[in-house]
């Protein structure tokens, strides 16, 4: 029996590598936009492109002309529509490279146990503040930004530039405080600013009890490399938003683990 003839494929090692790298990029981009509104937009664009290819094959001239118009400006449209995702993608690549370097040096100099101890010391005041705000049903939105875009965050907020402290966090979010509305932004191990107004997510599949605070936390995690911790004023529940996805009803052990990983 004759076998299949694959000689027409004429694959070189570099072609295989090429395919693996493209698959890796597609997987990475999919992971980045999974669960966000960007995935729907991307699907829309893929459908338009597939329709264009079909009408072109079928030689339907009017439709080809019409859809061709979209496709020819496709690259620019992609940049405009996915401006925030591209920005997040580039930030992640850049930040990951430098963070990995720092972590490696830190472990080399002080050993990995020291890293964990150091992280716990940083995170403890935040966890303690969340515990106390949960108890007193004080709503809070705390954003941990790996890259601190000063202009963006401070536009609407008040500059704080302070060491992270439980009492400071509690006082900011206290209902009578003039700074309690909006988000506190933590970056580079400091409370950078408070009362920051963030972009709201447009995700329409969120639980109905999610109001503006949750939407703002999820929104910032969609458009940047930041993660957000949300303490609900209504229920005291702790939620955690990362890359546009949200984990609800966290215990403090879970919150500590997540912050240890991401912050």
Ligand X SMILES: Nc1ncnc2c1ncn2[C@@H]1O[C@H](COP(=O)(O)OP(=O)(O)OP(=O)(O)O)[C@@H](O)[C@H]1O
Q: Give the residues lining the site for ligand X (CB under 6 A).
A: 139, 141, 181-183, 197-198, 200, 210-214, 216, 232-234
User: Between the CA atoms of 20, 24, 27 and 29, what dihedral angle is there, to the nearest 10 degrees?
Assistant: -130
Rounded to whole angstroms, the Cα distance separating 25 from 7 reads: 28
In DSSP notation, 21-86 reads: HHHHHHHHHHHHHTTSHHHHHHHHHHHHHHHHHHHHHTT-HHHHHHHHHHHHTHHHHHHHHTHHHH
Nearer to ligand X, 196 or 243 (CB): 196
CA 168/CA 213 separation, integer angstroms: 20
CB-wise, 149 or 181, nearer to ligand X? 181
Q: In the complex, what is the shortest distance from the CB of residue 210 to ligand X, in angstroms, rounded to a whole number?
A: 5
Residue nearest to ligand X (CB): 211
**DSSP-assigned letter for residue 200:** P
Report how far residue 12's alpha carbon sits from residue 144's, in angstroms, rounded to the nearest whole number.
45
Residue in the block written with tokens 């940047």? 224
Let me know: does 123 contact 257? Beta carbons within 8 Å.
Answer: no
Place of tokens 């027409």: 8
* Cβ closest to ligand X, residue 42 vs residue 169: 169
Q: How long, in residues, is the chain?
A: 263
> Which of residues 123 and 216 has its CB atom nearest to ligand X in the complex?
216
64 or 196, CB closer to ligand X? Answer: 196
Distance between CA atoms of 96 and 146, rounded to whole angstroms?
10
Give CA separation, 91 vs 65, 176, 223, 237, in Å.
37, 36, 11, 30
Min dist. Cβ of residue 211 to ligand X (A): 2
Least distance to ligand X from the beta carbon of 214, Å?
4
| Closest residue by Cα to residue 154 from 182, 131, 120 | 182
Q: Which CB, 64 or 201, lies closer to ligand X? A: 201
- Residue 64 or 138 having the CB closest to ligand X: 138
């Amino acid at each position: 029996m004759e076998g299949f003839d694959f000689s027409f494929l004429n694959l070189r090692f570099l072609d295989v590598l090429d395919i693996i790298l493209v698959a890796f990029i597609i997987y990475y981009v999919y992971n980045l936009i999974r669960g966000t509104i960007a995935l729907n937009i991307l699907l829309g664009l893929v459908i338009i492109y597939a329709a264009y290819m079909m009408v072109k094959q079928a030689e339907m001239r009017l439709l080809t002309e019409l859809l061709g118009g979209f496709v020819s400006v496709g690259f620019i449209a992609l940049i405009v529509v996915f401006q925030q995702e591209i920005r997040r993608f580039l930030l992640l690549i850049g930040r990951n490279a430098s963070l990995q370097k720092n972590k490696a040096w830190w472990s080399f100099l002080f050993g990995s146990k020291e890293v964990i101890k150091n992280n716990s010391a940083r995170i403890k005041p935040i966890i303690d503040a969340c515990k106390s705000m949960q108890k007193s049903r004080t709503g809070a939105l705390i954003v941990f930004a790996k890259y601190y875009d000063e202009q963006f965050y401070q536009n609407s907020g008040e500059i704080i530039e302070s060491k992270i402290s439980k009492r400071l966090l509690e006082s900011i979010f206290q209902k009578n405080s003039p700074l309690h509305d909006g988000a506190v932004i933590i970056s580079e191990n400091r409370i950078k600013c408070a009362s920051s107004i963030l972009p709201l997510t447009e995700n329409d599949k969120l639980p109905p009890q999610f109001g503006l605070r949750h939407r703002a936390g999820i929104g910032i995690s969609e458009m940047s490399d930041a993660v957000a911790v949300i303490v609900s004023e209504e229920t005291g529940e702790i939620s955690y938003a990362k890359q546009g996805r949200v984990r609800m009803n966290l215990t403090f052990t879970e919150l500590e683990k997540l912050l240890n990983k991401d912050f």
